[in-house]
Amino acid sequence: MAQTDDSMDDDVFETVDDVNKKLNISVKNTGHPSPTGYRNYRPPPEVLKLCENDVIVSDEPVLHKTILLGDSGVGKTSLLVKFDTGKFQSGNFSATVGIGFTTKVVTVDNTKVKLQIWDTAGQERFRSVTHAYYRDAHALLLLYDVTNKISYDNIRAWLGEIREYAQDDVVIMLLGNKADCGMDRAIRREDGERLAREYNVAFMETSAKSGQNVELAFVAVARELKCRSTGQKDTNTFNVKDYIREQTEKPQCPPCTT
Ligand SMILES: Nc1nc2c(ncn2[C@@H]2O[C@H](COP(=O)(O)OP(=O)(O)OP(=O)(O)O)[C@@H](O)[C@H]2O)c(=O)[nH]1
């Protein structure tokens, strides 16, 4: 007949004091029980050491630094304010001084993508300040104003600066802003598309005033950054240019009558 060993290892019943004695840990009794009931309990150093190399798993989404660039007056601040608050402030234009940021969380396929969006001053005199921020940027939204040919012509110079100061794999999106200004338009949509094709960057027209494509611009960037950070880029599962084409070619809602 097979024998079973019913005896239990006494270690199972060791008290915390016994374990501490074995491990040579002295515990000072302050007389104040901890909320867990294990007065002054601290895991033995051996146990703490085991945890040292553990990866800390956090629910916090990774922060992606995104910068708005372009000539003064193209609408960088307005675009960010529209995305952040849904509001457009027309009227007096006051140029941005220096640089500042807003943090927004965008949900992409049930995953939270945190964008730290930096609004830069477009004026030449702040250029050296803003260059310093390019280096660790993950995405750049480069704006021109469709009513201002100079701001469009300057895009080539901006792309030159980006190549010089930003990382090679930075996500770049060209935005032709103020698309609501039909009568004053100086740059056709096709011109924007052609320039974007030439530099192999994504493109869309936006309007901080009407809200056209404002959300889409940031969501497309967030999608691209999410794909890159999860390594999906290699499998070609997402292409920001195709995504924008699909989204912008979707039938729009009928024109408002009010
Ligand atoms: N019609 C129209 N006006 C816009 C739009 N976006 C911005 N504006 C106006 O253009 C002017 C300049 O906008 P800003 O957002 O301050 O421009 P900016 O690029 O941030 O300028 P800097 O801070 O100098 O770099 C303001 O008077 C805005 O109201 C738009 O989409 N449509």
Cβ–ligand 1 contact at 82 (below 6 Å):
no
**Ligand 1 binding pocket mutation candidate from 68, 72, 77, 97 (most atoms within 8 A of CB):** 77
CATH for 196: 3.40.50.300
Cβ–ligand 1 contact at 95 (below 6 Å):
yes
Six-digit token string for 105: 């969380």
Closest atom of ligand 1 to 78 CA is 15
Cβ–ligand 1 contact at 184 (below 6 Å):
no
Spatial distance between the Cα atoms of 11 and 132, rounded to a whole number of angstroms: 61
- The residue type of 241 is K
| Cα 224 to middle of ligand 1, angstroms | 26
**Cα angle vertex 66, ends 64, 67, to 5°?**
155
Q: Could you tell me if residue 11 is inside a domain?
A: no
Cβ–ligand 1 contact at 142 (below 6 Å):
no
- Please tell me the predicted confidence (pLDDT) of residue 114: 95
Closest atom of ligand 1 to 97 CA is 23
Q: Could you tell me if residue 150 is inside a domain?
A: yes
- Please tell me the predicted confidence (pLDDT) of residue 46: 66
Per-residue DSSP letter, 126 = G
**Per-residue pLDDT for the chain (258 aa), expressed as one digit of tens each?**
444 444 444 444 444 455 455 545 444 444 444 445 455 556 666 666 655 555 555 567 789 999 999 999 999 999 999 999 999 988 777 888 878 899 999 998 888 999 999 999 989 888 888 888 899 999 999 999 999 999 999 999 999 999 999 999 999 999 999 999 989 999 999 999 999 999 999 999 999 999 999 999 999 999 999 988 876 654 445 677 788 878 877 765 555 544
Cβ–ligand 1 contact at 74 (below 6 Å):
yes
How close are the terminal C-alpha atoms of the chain, in Å?
Answer: 93
- Please tell me the predicted confidence (pLDDT) of residue 32: 47
Do 178 and 147 touch, CB atoms closer than 8 A? Answer: yes
> pTM to 2 decimals?
0.75
| Cα 127 to middle of ligand 1, angstroms | 18
- Domain containing 97 equals 16-247
Structural domain count, the chain: 1
Q: Could you tell me if residue 256 is inside a domain?
A: no
Six-digit token string for 77: 């601040």
Spatial distance between the Cα atoms of 24 and 132, rounded to a whole number of angstroms: 53
Q: Could you tell me if residue 154 is inside a domain?
A: yes
Q: Could you tell me if residue 69 is inside a domain?
A: yes
Cβ contacts of residue 178 below 8 Å, gap of 6+? 74, 75, 145, 146, 147, 207, 208, 209
Do 78 and 152 touch, CB atoms closer than 8 A? Answer: no
For 26-110, strand residue ranges (E) read 63-70, 99-108
Region of 75 on the Ramachandran plot (φ > 0 left; ψ -120 to 50 alpha; else beta): left
Beta bridge partners of 116: 65, 103
Region of 220 on the Ramachandran plot (φ > 0 left; ψ -120 to 50 alpha; else beta): alpha
Give nearest CA residue, ligand 1 atom 29. 90
For CA atoms 122, 127, 131, 133, give the dihedral sign: negative
Cβ–ligand 1 contact at 98 (below 6 Å):
no
Cβ contacts of residue 148 below 8 Å, gap of 6+? 71, 73, 74, 186
Spatial distance between the Cα atoms of 206 and 65, rounded to a whole number of angstroms: 21
Q: Could you tell me if residue 42 is inside a domain?
A: yes
Q: Could you tell me if residue 10 is inside a domain?
A: no
- Please tell me the predicted confidence (pLDDT) of residue 2: 45
Give nearest CA residue, ligand 1 atom 23. 96
- Please tell me the predicted confidence (pLDDT) of residue 90: 82
Six-digit token string for 222: 């967030």
- Please tell me the predicted confidence (pLDDT) of residue 12: 44
Q: Could you tell me if residue 243 is inside a domain?
A: yes
- Please tell me the predicted confidence (pLDDT) of residue 14: 44
